[in-house]
Amino acid sequence: MIVRPRENWFRMLFVWRGSVLRAIVPQLFFLSVVSGLAVLSHGRILGEKIPLNTAPFTLFGVALTIFLAFRNTASYERFNEARHLWGSVLIASRSLAAQMLCYIEDSANTDRVELVRTVIAFAYALKHQLRKTDPTGDLVRLIGNEATGVLRTKCYKPIALLKDIRNKLARLQRQQAVTDTKLWMFDAQINELEKTVGGCERIASTPIPFAYSVLLHRTVYAYCIMLPFGLVDSTELFTPIVSVFVAYTLIALEAIANEVSEPFSTAPNALALDAIARNIERSLLELCDREIPEEAVPDRLYQLK
């Protein structure tokens, strides 16, 4: 994700990184060529004049923008829900770690910091599962080679890590090092973390119906290709400028909707999962009075993968 300081109005006109302009330049170039052909042919194809004017384009454009607004709203709802879910991961992880550090007796035959590191490993494992990347490096750093080796055969590593925490807490309860009430408090936070995993999996595995994307994509490009032939009689030489400007707005809105609808990707406008996971690690290690790593801030110049 790219995070920028608030720019003044003039510099915002020329922002390149973080916008979708880079991704849609080829489409805009193609449409500028179509607009140029419309001007050179005076709105004719194979010698036949295309009977188009601005009136139907105005009506159709209103309907298209409403459809685009619906698509962008649906995409942002997915992004916003994913943001709330990862906020819940931070809150529940912090609460679980603080409870384990405070309520597990010093005399108990377990390493409380090790349990907290397992919670941190859960956050990183969830991040990698959502992005379909290899979590080995982060897991080895946090829980060691032996525990990481056990997880290699697991498909759902975040859930396996929560199960390991629950098993260790249950063992402490059987040894009477943790009371039933304390175990219930621990279990409530683990349940909350499991809910966030389910919510994230639902977003990642259930994209916006493909038919919506196909219909919107075809409609936008059909509109943008026909637009120069409807404008050429009224705008003449300015047809390419007007057509490309309108096309930029519509195609960019479609591209933004596609990008935002996948909040766990590594796109510039997706969630900054690296920074969120690092923030969880820093917060929990500070509770343990351990040295914390450097803060991972979403890059202002380069995309944070």
**Does any domain span residue 148?**
yes
Instruction: State the pLDDT at residue 195.
Output: 97
How many beta carbons lie within 10 A of that of residue 169, not counting itself? 22
What digits encode the pLDDT tens for the residues 181-213? 999 999 999 999 999 999 999 999 998 888 888
299 found inside a domain: no
> pLDDT tens-digit profile of 246-270?
999 999 999 999 989 999 998 888 8
Q: Does residue 113 lie in a domain region?
A: yes
Whether pLDDT at 8 is above 80? no
Domain hosting 67: range is 9-287
Q: Is 302 inside any structural domain?
A: no
83 in any annotated domain: yes
What is the reported pLDDT for 2? 54
pLDDT digit string (tens) for 128-154?
999 999 999 999 999 999 999 999 999
- Does any domain span residue 124? yes
Identify whether 292 is part of a domain: no
pLDDT tens for 92-109 read 999 999 999 999 887 666
Provide the domain count of the chain: 1
- pLDDT value of position 280: 96
pLDDT at 234 over 80: yes
pLDDT digits (tens, 9 = 90+) for 41-75: 887 877 777 777 777 888 888 888 888 888 899 99
Please indicate, yes or no, if residue 133 is contained in any of the structural domains: yes
Instruction: State residue 211's pLDDT score.
Output: 87
